[in-house]
Amino acid sequence: MKIISLGLDQSALTPSSGLAKRLLAQSQFLTKYLVFVPSRKDEFVALSDKVAVSGLAGSNKIVQWFRLYARLVITARRGFDIITVQDNYYLAFLAWLIAWRYDLKLEIQIHGFEKGNFFRRLIFAFNIKRADGIRVVSQRLKQHLIDNFKISEFKIYIIPVYSSYPHTVEGKKDYLPHDPFVFFTVARLVPVKNISLQIKAMAGVVKRYPNVVLKIAGDGPEKNKLQQLVRGLNLQDKVIFLGQVREMRNLYKSADVFLLTSTSEGWGLVVVEAASFGLPIIMTDVGCAGEVILDQENGLIVDSNEEELVAAMAGLMLDEKRRESLGSKAKEAVSNLPTEKENLILYKESWERLI
C-alpha cells in the first residue's frame, strides 16, 4: 500500500518526536508513506526509505492551501492508494479534491469536534459524507457521526489513541495523602479544556481543607486569563502553573488525584496516562468516560458545574480507601486497551478495508 497523509502536527518533521516514531511503526505495512503538513518554513525530512515528511510554508493559510494542493497533485500522479487526513475542514476538503481527481480512497481521522461557525459545520458535513473510511478514537465519536450525520456504521472504525506509557508502568506505591494534597491536570490552556472550572472549585475546596494544591501542566492562549482568575480568588499559593513539561512521569507519581474538566474531548489520552500510574480520576462526561472510566466503578464522572466538582474533590481527599480502589481499578481498565502492536494491526486492517 502507498499512502499520502495530510495533517497539522509539525512534530512529524522532528525525527525524535513521538509522532515521527509512530509514522515509522505504521510504515512496516506500507511500501510508501508520504506526509505533508503546513509549516513555518519549507522543510523535508526522510525518516526512512519509505517515510518522508514535507512541511510547506506560505505567507498565509490560503497560500499554504494552494501550495499543498500543487504538491499533492504531483504526488498523487505517482500511483497512491489512500489519502488520509487529520483535519475535518479545509485540509479534509483538499484531501477530498485529490482523492476525487486521482481516484484515491479518502480516510478522514476525527479526534474530536470543535465549535465552529455555520460555514465550518457545512464543510465538515460535505467532507464526512464523501469519506470512504472514517477513523475515530472512541465509541462516543462514532455514535455522534451515526446520529447526527447519518453515516453508515460500517464506514467508521475505532482506533483509540495509544499511550506511550506502558500499562505495566510502576504506579503509586500507596494512597496516603501528600503534604500538601495534590490535584493534577494536564491540558493545553484553551477554553474547551475548561480549566477555569478546576480553579473555581479549588476556591471551594481550600475553604474546607487548606492543605491542598492544584498543579497544571500545559500552556496556551488562556494562561494569562487563568492566572488573573487565580489572583482574583487569592489562590496564588494553591494553584501552580507548571508550563510545558517534557517528562510527566514524576508528576503523575507524585499526584493524589487527576482532574479532567473539558467540555469536549475526543478520547482524553491524559486520562489513560494518569490511570496507567494508578491515579484516581475525576472527569467530565467526555472522551473515554463511559468506555474506559466508569462512574463510581473506576473513576468519578461529574457534570460541568462547580458544586459537583467540589464535592467529588473533597470526597476523595477524605477517603484514602476510595482513592486506592478507584486508582487500582482504573489502572486495570487501561491495561485492557490495545497494546502498541495491537494498535498497529488495527491501522493495517483499517487501510486494507479501504482498498
Within-domain flag for 271: yes
Residues spanned by the domain of 307: 181-336
pLDDT at 207 over 60: yes
pTM of the model: 0.85
Co-location of 328 and 211 in the same domain:
yes
pLDDT tens for residues 256-305?
Answer: 999 999 999 989 999 999 999 999 999 999 999 999 999 999 999 999 99
pLDDT at 177: 63
Give the whole-angstrom CA distance, residue 224 versus residue 30: 45
Give the whole-angstrom CA distance, residue 164 versus residue 80: 30
Co-location of 318 and 188 in the same domain:
yes
Q: Which residue, chain included where needed, has cell 499554504?
A: 64
Helix (H) or strand (E) holding 133: strand 133-136
Co-location of 200 and 230 in the same domain:
yes
| Number of domains, the chain | 2
Within-domain flag for 173: no
pLDDT at 171: 59
Find how far residue 114's CA is from the centre of its chain. Answer: 13
